[in-house]
Amino acid sequence: MQNPKRSGISWKPSLLIIFFIFAAFIFIFLIYLGLTGYQATPKYIHLNNSYIPPGSVQYSEEQQTVLSQFGRLNYFSIQFYDDWLDNGILQTIRVENWGFESHGQEITFLNGVLLESTGIDIPAQASLPLTYSPDQFHAYMSLQEISAVTGVTELIEMPMELELLPGGKIYFGPGITFGLKNNQLIYIEAFSQIDNGGQS
């Protein structure tokens, strides 16, 4: 025969434990939602950078020639990605686009080799000198390294949606935009800032 009194006593802790577990799951779920939401939220970040800047990339002869001929660079963008080349080795590709407004030319380099020169028709703007140069940026640099080479410590961080690019974050700084995937630089773009202090 079962003792009804003993049975009543044993139910109370069980219910309490179930309630506690349920509450814990709700709490964890909310924390998870909060962290996920936090990760997906655009942020204004201020880096306290103590990194030593890495050395600069060596320009190719063709790039040096272009710079000496065209002079001041108005904007540039660099894409980094991996590709299998003819020799079967996975190699990092560096595609650079350099813009020279005064000469109306945008020049493309593939791993330092001149690939293409395209005429551009952009009205002259009163712009400040470009404060960054392509040789500052290595493939797959970290955020801290980029901050160290550019001196930029205040940035807007914009996480990309998981469906679009998992691990992707875009950063916006003064005259510079770059993208990191898993904290590795794969895209960077720098433009001369406009001189009038307003938007274009």
Interface with other proteins includes 103 (CB under 8 A)? no
- Site size for other proteins, by CB under 8 A? 93
Encode burial over 58-94: b for 16+ CB neighbours within 10 A, e otherwise: ebeeebeebbeebeebbbbbbebeeeeeeeeeeeeeb
Residue 192 found at the interface with other proteins (CB under 8 A)? yes
CB of 124 to other proteins, least distance (A): 10
Our CB check for other proteins shows the closer of 64 and 182 to be 182
Continuous segment of H or E residues that includes residue 29: helix 4-40
Q: Mark the segment that binds other proteins (CB under 8 A) among 1-9, 46-54, 61-69.
A: 46-54
Sites for other proteins among residues 67-96 (CB under 8 A):
74-75, 77, 79-90, 93, 95
176 binds other proteins (CB under 8 A): yes
User: Tokens representing 170?
Assistant: 């875009």
**Residue 189: other Cβ atoms inside 10 A:** 16
